Structure 1
Amino acid sequence: MCDPTPMYRESWQYDDSCEDVYLFCEPSSNTCAYKGCSNADYIQGWDLEKRPYPPRCGIDTYCPDNRSQCTPVVSIGSICEIQRDDECTGTTSICLNSTCFIKGAPLGGNCGADTTVYTAFDAVGDAIQQTIIRDNCTEGTYCNLDSTCINSKPNNAACLQDRECVSNTCSNFDVCINGPEMFRKIKAWLWGVLGACVVVFVCLILALLWFLHRYQSNKEHVKISKFFGDNEEFAKYAMMNDNDSTSTIADSESRLNLPMNESRASVVYLTTPDYVKSHTLTTKSSSAALKSNNNSTARFTTRENTPDV
Structure 2
Amino acid sequence: MYWLPLTLILTSGQLLVKAGYQTKGQNCSSADNRLQIGTYQFYSDCDSQNYCSSDGVCQPKGCRKDQFPFGYSQDSPLPPLCPSGQFCPDEADACQPLLSVGSPCQLNRDDQCEPPPNAAELADTLHYGRNVNGAVCLNNVCMWANVTVGQPCEVENTAYIAYTGSSEYIDVASRGNCQVGLFCDSQQLTCMSMKAVGESCDGDKECSSFNCQSNGVCGQSADTPNQIGVWVYVLVGVGILGGMSGTLTLLFLIHRRQRDNEREKREQYWREQYAFRQNILQMRETARTSILSLPGHGSNRSTMYSRAASAASDDSSSPIPQQQSPYGASGLRNYMVDDGDFRGRD
User: If the TM-score is normalised by the length of the shorter chain, which range does it land in?
Assistant: 0.5 to 0.7
Which residue does the alignment assign to 2:182?
Answer: 142
Separation in structure 2 between the aligned mates of residue 75 and residue 156 of structure 1, nearest angstrom = 40
Determine helix, strand or coil for the equivalent of 2:57.
Answer: strand
Give the match for residue 78 of structure 2: 55
TM-score when normalising by structure 2:
0.52
Radius of gyration: which is bigger? 2
The offset of 1:225, in angstroms, is 0.9
Amino acid at match of 2:59: Y
> Which residue number in structure 1 is paired with residue 271 of structure 2?
229
Q: Which residue in the other structure is 1:207 paired with?
A: 249
Root-mean-square deviation over aligned CA pairs: 4.8
Q: 1:66: how far off?
A: 1.2
Cα distance in 2, alignment partners of residues 241 and 58 from structure 1: 107
Identity of aligned residues (%): 16
Unpaired segments of 5 or more residues in structure 2?
1-27, 124-132, 293-297, 310-346
In the alignment, which residue of structure 1 is the partner of 2:304? Answer: 256
State the shift of 1:216 in Å. Answer: 1.2
Give the Cα separation in 2 of the matches to 1:241 and 1:119.
100
Contact 1:82/1:95, CA 8 A, preserved across alignment = no
Between the aligned partners of 1:125 and 1:213, the Cα distance in structure 2 is 54
Distance 1:255 1:155, change over 3 A: farther
Q: 1:159 to 1:65 in 2, by over 3 A?
A: same
Distance 1:85 1:165 in 2: 21
The whole-number CA distance in structure 1 between the counterparts of 2:200 and 2:178 is: 22
Structure 1 residues 106 and 67: CA distance shift in structure 2, 3 A: closer
Q: Which residue identity lines up with residue 96 of structure 1 in the other structure?
A: C
**Partner of residue 281, structure 1:** none
Gap change, CA 1:236 and 1:176, over 3 Å in 2 = same
The 2-side partners of 1:254 and 1:56 are apart by 128
Query: 1:212 Cα shift?
Result: 1.5
Distance 1:163 1:11, change over 3 A: same
Picking from 107, 122, 133, the partner of 1:82 is 107
Letter of the 2:93 counterpart: S
Structure 1 unpaired stretches of 5+? 260-309
Contact map agreement 2:99 2:142 (CA 8 A) in 1: no
Structure with more contact order per residue of length (Cα contacts < 8 Å, sep ≥ 6): 2
AA aligned to 2:304 is L
Q: Shift of residue 65 of structure 1? A: 0.9
Change (3 A) 1:122 1:218: closer
Show the counterpart of 1:303.
none
Aligned residues, how many?
Answer: 245
Q: Give 2:6's aligned residue.
A: none
1:189 and 2:194 matched: no
The 1:12–1:199 alpha-carbon spacing in structure 2 relative to 1, beyond 3 Å, is closer
Aligned residue for 1:24? 51
Give 1:273's aligned residue.
none
**d(CA) in 2 for partners of 1:15 and 1:197?**
53
1:99 aligned residue: 142
* TM-score, length of structure 1 as denominator length: 0.57
Distance of aligned partners of 1:254 and 1:234 in 2 relative to their CA distance in 1, 3 Å threshold: farther
Question: What SS does the aligned partner of 1:31 have?
Answer: coil
